[in-house]
Amino acid sequence: MTTVPFHRRKETKLVFRYLTAASLVVIFVFPIYWLFAISFKTPGEIFAFPPVWYPKSIQFNNYAVLFKDGDAKTVGNSLVLASVSTFFAMIFGTIAAYSLVRFRTGGENLAVWIISQRMMPPVAIVFPVFLFYVWLGWVDTYIGLIILYTAFSLPYVIWMMRGYIEDIPLELEESALIDGCSRWEVLWKVVFPMARSGLFATAVFTFIFSWNDFLFALVLTRTEVTTYTVQVTHYFGGQSNFWSKIAAMSVLGTIPVFITVATLQRYLVRGISMGAVKG
């Protein structure tokens, strides 16, 4: 009987590992690749059998249609709604978190009450909100969705920022107070810069939550502020599905998130791990 030398065994193990990793990557990345590929294909290529693995020539017609019909505007709507609501949620959430941490506002349990709101299924409140919004005349308006997204993101922002603010040494703030800062200046000059990574990480997630929202946008919009998530569903028809439009619109919807995550990756990793080491 021949024995396999030790180094050979190690190599085999490594090869096996790489093969497993590579096949997993293919399984997960393939749908994304397919989405991008379809968005550049002609209608003929989309339905060809056997499948066309990559478009013969890159053509932007599928995108051009979206812009020509004005459907691409829905990505702009999503962008405005998600960015503005994230901005307000971050400002108010951080201030609220600061108050919870430093002034013990609401005692020990308020923070838990706040986060518990996050656990509530959105579908439970969407219809009451709808009726309320009809009364206010806020259905299909920016302000309606911005307020709703802000309110829905606040518990998450407060909960996350609370952890990051607790990590800031109190002495830094006390030193600033003695040096001549007001509480607001302390927030601006000490708390924000100290919690910068956490702020960015939380903002990215808040943005993505609002960006990906489907339910509220479906119920609370008609034509004016339709978001891209709702727009995609318009292409599923009773007779046929517009795969080229679905793919192109989905790609348009992915790009802003991709850019956000790519630019803020540095803060994201630090921000998430900052939260992770906390007990």
20 contact partners, CB below 8 Å, separation of at least 6: none
Cα–Cα–Cα angle for 71, 69, 52, rounded to 5 degrees: 80
- Residue 101 to residue 203: CA distance in whole angstroms: 19
CB-wise, 11 or 179, nearer to another protein?
Answer: 179
Residue 108 binds another protein, judged by CB under 8 A: no
- Judged by CB under 8 A, which of 175, 233, 241, 273 binds another protein? 175
Query: Quick one: which H or E segment has residue 101?
Result: helix 73-102
Residue 277 binds another protein, judged by CB under 8 A: no
CB of 170 to another protein, least distance (A): 9
Q: What is the DSSP letter of 242?
A: -
Q: How many residues bind another protein (CB under 8 A)?
A: 18
Neighbours of 132 (CB within 10 A): 13
- Judged by CB under 8 A, which of 43, 51, 137, 169 binds another protein? 169
CB-wise, 189 or 234, nearer to another protein?
Answer: 189
CB of 15 to another protein, least distance (A): 43
**C-alpha 4: how far from its chain's center?**
50
- Judged by CB under 8 A, which of 185, 233, 258, 278 binds another protein? 185
Structure tokens at 110: 């308020």
Q: Which stretch binds another protein (CB under 8 A): 144-152, 192-200, 225-233, 255-263?
A: 192-200
Neighbours of 260 (CB within 10 A): 20
CB-wise, 181 or 272, nearer to another protein?
Answer: 181
- List contacts with another protein (CB under 8 A): 169, 171-172, 174-182, 185, 189-190, 193-194, 196
